[in-house]
């Protein structure tokens, strides 16, 4: 039997964002993101865009490459540490150069979207 879970686009975005925030905090030992209710417009749009990409059939690698392109267009560069003021992030590198732990954030977001918007 196939069941479809009911969740709104915004609810899924909040869930994906909070997963990313908790993963960053507890697994990657980074404290970079504010809770969803305080997230800025760019962060919210980034998650909504990622959801749309998954629904359009894109892969976790595609999600990262899209995010990378947007961040670089906004003046962000690679840096060993995330720094909002300096606009640096350790994730601003090609997918093939990310560690498995760094890639996991995209795989988790992808899995959440697939779970809630496609049949299980």
Q: Which residues of 93-104 are buried (b: 16+ CB within 10 A; e: fewer)?
A: eebeebeeeebe
Q: What percent of the chain clears pLDDT 70, i.e. is strictly above it? A: 94
Q: Is the pLDDT at 103 greater than 70, yes or no?
A: yes
Instruction: Over range 19-45, report the average pLDDT.
Output: 89
Distance of CA 2 to the CA centre of its chain: 27
Domain limits, the chain: 9-117
Which pLDDT belongs to residue 1? 44
In the predicted model, is pLDDT for residue 31 greater than 70? yes
46-89 per-position pLDDT tens digit:
999 999 999 999 999 999 999 999 999 999 999 998 888 899 99
């Amino acid at each position: 039997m196939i069941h479809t879970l009911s969740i709104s686009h915004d609810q899924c975005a909040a869930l994906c964002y909070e997963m990313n925030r908790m993963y960053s905090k507890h697994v990657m030992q980074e404290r970079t993101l504010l809770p969803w209710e305080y997230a800025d417009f760019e962060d919210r749009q980034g998650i909504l865009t990622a959801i749309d990409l998954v629904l359009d059939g894109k892969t976790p690698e595609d999600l990262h490459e899209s995010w990378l392109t947007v961040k670089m267009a906004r003046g962000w560069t690679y840096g060993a540490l995330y720094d909002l003021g300096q606009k640096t992030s350790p994730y601003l590198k090609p997918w093939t150069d990310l560690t498995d732990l760094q890639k996991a954030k995209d795989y988790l977001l992808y899995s959440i979207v697939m779970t809630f918007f496609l049949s299980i």
